[in-house]
Chains A and B, each alone.
Chain A
């Protein structure tokens, strides 16, 4: 075989191999259960699979070669169009990072479909050559969420009625309405009443969560003094710190700190963070609370030297019903809704919540709201 025919042979083999790889990637792309779209380095659609076409109601020929952010329109929850620069596909290009987000895509007929998307930039060496977006229709997830919230709301109301009767009659007995109780009977009565209280609190939290998820969490801003609010919450929680022998230190400001915000929501968030710190700190531990003006807002800091959050669970801590494994072993009474509520409240008040934590060393939570 001459040298020339040897080179031709090698090239033919390489081309065959490339064709085979292309066929494999085409088959993989076509068989994805989610919608998938690839673009070139200028954001023009180069490939689109049948799931994406079916979901969006387009023909392949209507999209190939079109600029992605213009061809497929995205809107936010309120129906406002998301500009091309804000689209994940553009940001993934600019930042060179993977992006996962939820939004609504408009089909060819203009119907909004909620989707969960992931965009990854494609690099050849250091050079960006395109992007791939995979997306999934989450309408069913939304519907299930709505039904779940409705169920929680109805169930909670129905549970409250018999619970009110138990509570009212137990109070009547405890206050000697049908004769005075012995010390032992009184102790049992107190157990009944505190259990009813616990159940009432769980129901109230469930109702709050279902209300948030139904989008009914209305913010009614008023001017309040957060220094005083913090003192009140700490006073209310002082009994639980005494029971556990925990030192609760509040570095109160010397002056009132006035903020225009929703008093009920902020109280719920502060109370959740401080009571969590007490709950997840062992006996003889300490909890330090402080508030300060920072970045045109108010920052609450709650530091404890308690159980901490295991590193591998830290990204789930604000998820609904989530409870870290190290605290589940120690305490069985939590609902896993407290921090979820705090996060929802932070979002509703246009604030932020974050933390640093080390297992068995403690946790520091930060809650910031604009002033």
Chain B
């Protein structure tokens, strides 16, 4: 509960991360509007947050490396193994 205490950097982070209930969110937003330093910090954190969401996103479109698929096959003991030939 934020109540009447001063807004902290953790509060700003919680706002960005959607971790505040609506009452706390209003309280933090009101404080930000009245404090240029808080707004500046929030803007900086927001820009970083956007880049983090985009970071290495292209990896999601790459095929799964064959070495991983081969490893999975080798480790899968539920698969029927070919019988050994003497």
A and B assemble together: no
